Chain A
Amino acid sequence: MIFTRNKSSLEHILEHFDLCNNDFIQNLKKKKNLAEYTNKILNHATRFEFWNKGCLAGLIALYLNQEDSIRNGYITNVSVIESWEKKGIASKLLENCMLHSKEISLNEVKLEVNKNNYAALNLYKKFNFTIFEENEESTFMRNDLRDVKIFRWEKLGKIFNPVENKISPWLEEYAQSPSTLTFDDFIRVYFSCRSKRDENGANISRSTYIDLDKSNLFNILNIGKQPVLNLGERGCFDEFGTYPMSVIRNNDEVWIYYAGWTRCKSVPFNTAIGAAISKDDGETFEKIGNGPVIPYSINEPFLMSVPKIRKFDNLFYLFYVCGHKWMVVDGKPEMSLKIRFATSSDGINWEKANRDIIEEASGPDESQGSPDVIFRNGKYHMFFDYWDPNTFRKTKSRKIGYAYSPDLINWMRDDSRAGIDVSEKPNAFDNEMVAYPHVFELNKEVYMLYLGNEVGRYGFGLAKLNGDL
């Protein structure tokens, strides 16, 4: 499911109203005021949109009013097309509207609703709207936004720059795919780095870690002296690199899931997901087999990568991406990747969901990566990154998206709530892209590690959650 703000055109809205069957719209149609009204909300209202396959299926329109120093919002329209009624869409749109209102510091939001529209009245009451006026036809409600919780990531700065810490030939540049493991006194951050490019321009990614002081995450206590994973044997899926990866404690062991790299002829490489186990607290890992733990399959033909391992309710979840297609852009191969997941009771035998779980927000070729999930306040929150493979090499742009789910099955994507974007400072390490989010909890705070420009070539940064998920 996909939610946006102010993306709809006049045609979208007119088509949407045509598919709606509510009294307000019907009245406008009768009075032949619909076109005028549509134009008005297009030009003057903030629009909260829900889309289904390119069709605007849900819409809330909010006018902003300034009276002296008081800034108010007025919800002029809440509509959902008939085929999407009673599926909780209005509720999610309203939530987005309230979050945005809070974000732009409105003092209150008001609305008018037909007295007999009990479904709507109940919805507004659920969102803590209170009645301040009534007449024969309508009920007028207001909400001071006191109970609306929003979040933003406050950037704290860059933690680690591999280029300034060249400790060996295999750690030349890049610190990608940070993944944390909590110890009593420190946080261990695994990351992947690259060797110098060889004469063919190819390099090899290895993975190691740094240990961060729990009381000051900018204090690096220790840097791994060697890669935590060996490269695979000849012909194996991980012969030419082990990257990206994520770790989890499993009883007394630490398990790592990683993408292994092999080199191909027609495309530059392929990747598959492997697993390894550490019995020395994450210092070294032993592979559980020479092959991948998640095989390629009928609808996951190649490029299985960015495994993110989690455990919820005693079940392992592996969120990952798989290749949707290889494209050729300006004569060069580019990947279109999609987020998927699999579950397992033992971490070894996996059952794939066999479907894309995050709808594209930037066209069918959109590439998605780094699906990092955290459970908080009764919901699962996913931060991931996405980019357009058609333009990526030129724009160098990659952004962090956000989706949430009540059940790990259905995901509601709403990038406007991600709470983090590229830095506007001209020399910032993340002024072109923010990528590879990894979210973790420490001392009751929530932090995000993320990569900056050139997908972490110069390291990763830290952000802290303001507000709550």
Chain B
Amino acid sequence: MKWKKLGKIFEFEKSPFSKRFFSHAQSPQVMVFDDFLRIYFSTRKKDKDSFISYPQYIDYSKDFSNILSYSKGEIISRGKLGCFDEHGIFPFSPMRYQNKIYSYISGWSRRASVDVESSVGLVISEDGGETFQRIGNGPVLSSSLHEPFLIADSFVKCFDEKFYMYYIYGEKWCEATKDHAPERVYKISYALSDDGVNWKKSGKRIIPDVIDENECQALPTVIKIDSRYHMYFCYRHMIGFREEKDKGYRLGYAYSDDLINWVRDDENCGISPTPNSWDSDMMCYPNLFEMEGNVYLLYNGNNFGKTGFGLAKLVKD
């Protein structure tokens, strides 16, 4: 794979969102329309304890030269008291299905002994993706016997009339030391569904580690090019990923011919940090999409997308 970076296309501070929100434009995810391109992302407001993530969107012309519109209010209401998504939604992952837009949301809820717990919910839009409603107050995918916590980062696509969900689950919370709070380890798995609502987990990890057993893997995104499926995701060290640039998120790559068995091949990832730039220390939260015959990659750079997101275009052979 070979990518040409097109640069940071969204600057939070210069955007209209900076008036309503505090910071961040994380996990950009695309919905392509006839005349424009909508990019959903999660942005933050502070609250008395921490922050809450809210999904919003911005519409671009298909050549990325103009901002055509953007969300001016809530696109999904806050989760109710005690619910899985009470303390924010991040990421927000849309897909088209039967004239509606389904979005798989990662809901956050705060815990006492660890920072958070998360589960995946489904919200549906019948107004072309401007607003969404929950199908219920609970999740469609949550912790289970062998995936005890931190279900998140769902990416769903239909292939041959079957729904494939790639997502992450928590494997362990490492105990705190004098240097760090409890830290989590999470891995990529997949689940299958016939209707997008009722899911069966595979119970299988699909991406082997390259760092060590505590490698954290996040936000898988999948695209089919010709007859092969390609997955991008991000991965990092368990400790030190916030401060040390060698331990922060990088993009990883894997390919598959059957959507189930994946070969990790980071050497052919084709994209890496550019020194002294907005993505010099970190690259994370990738989203692959196709538009007008080209394949693009949206992603966040330094600081987990605190200041915006950027774009790259796949270079054809």
Contacts and interface: CB of A to CB of B under 8 A. Distances in A.
Interface of A: 232-237, 239-240, 262-267, 270, 272, 288-293, 295-303, 323, 325-326, 328, 333, 348
Contacts of A299: 136-138
Interface stretch (B170-178, B244-252, B296-304): B170-178
Interface stretch (B6-14, B83-91, B275-283): B83-91
Given A296-B84, A297-B139, A298-B136, A264 B109 contact: yes
B111 A262 contact: yes
Contact of B114 (A234, A303, A333): A234
A321 to B, nearest CB: 14
Contacts of B148: 232-233, 235-237, 289-292
A326 B143 CA distance: 21
Interface of B: 49, 80-84, 86-87, 109-114, 117, 119, 121-122, 135-140, 142-150, 170, 172-173, 175, 182, 184, 197
A348 B145 CA distance: 9
Return the 10 tightest CB-CB contacts between A and B, nearest first: A289-B145, A301-B138, A298-B136, A291-B148, A263-B112, A235-B173, A265-B110, A326-B82, A290-B148, A234-B173
5 contacts: A235-B149, A237-B149, A264-B82, A295-B143, A297-B139
Contacts of A302: 82-84, 138
A288 B148 CA distance: 12
A333 B197 CA distance: 30
B4 to A, nearest CB: 41
B82 A323 contact: yes
A288 B138 CA distance: 24
Contacts of B121: 298
Contact of B49 (A265, A296, A325): A265
B117 A262 contact: yes
Given A264-B109, A266-B87, A301 B136 contact: yes
A264 B139 CA distance: 17
A375 B49 CA distance: 51
A239 B149 CA distance: 12
Nearest to A299: B136
Contacts of B122: 298
A300 B182 contact: no
Dominant secondary structure of chain A at its interface with chain B: loop
A235 B182 contact: yes
A302 B81 CA distance: 10
A264 B144 contact: no
B185 to A, nearest CB: 11
Given A235-B114, A299-B137, A292 B144 contact: yes
Given A235-B113, A235-B114, 16 more contacts: A235-B150, A237-B148, A237-B149, A240-B112, A265-B112, A290-B148, A292-B145, A293-B144, A293-B145, A296-B84, A297-B138, A297-B139, A297-B140, A299-B138, A302-B82, A303-B82
Q: Which of A237, A291, A328 has the most CB of B within 10 A?
A: A291
Contact of B135 (A234, A262, A292, A298): A298
Contacts, number: 130
Dominant secondary structure of chain B at its interface with chain A: loop
A298 B197 contact: yes
Nearest to A264: B111
Contact of B82 (A234, A240, A270): A270
Given A235-B173, A288-B145, A296-B119, A264 B112 contact: yes
A272 B117 CA distance: 13
Contacts of B140: 297-298
A290 B149 CA distance: 9
Nearest to B86: A266
A235 to B, nearest CB: 4
Q: Which of B81, B142, B148, B197 has the most CB of A within 10 A?
A: B148
A298 B140 CA distance: 6
Contact of B139 (A267, A292, A298, A326): A298
Contacts of B184: 235
A326 B138 CA distance: 13
A344 to B, nearest CB: 13
A154 B124 CA distance: 54
B288 to A, nearest CB: 28
Given A235-B170, A296-B139, A298-B138, A266 B82 contact: yes
B113 A239 contact: yes
A296 B113 contact: no
A293 to B, nearest CB: 6
B113 A300 contact: no
Contacts of B81: 266-267, 325-326, 328, 333
B31 to A, nearest CB: 23
A6 B14 CA distance: 69
Given A263-B111, A266-B82, A266-B87, A234 B175 contact: yes
A74 B122 CA distance: 58
Nearest to A327: B81
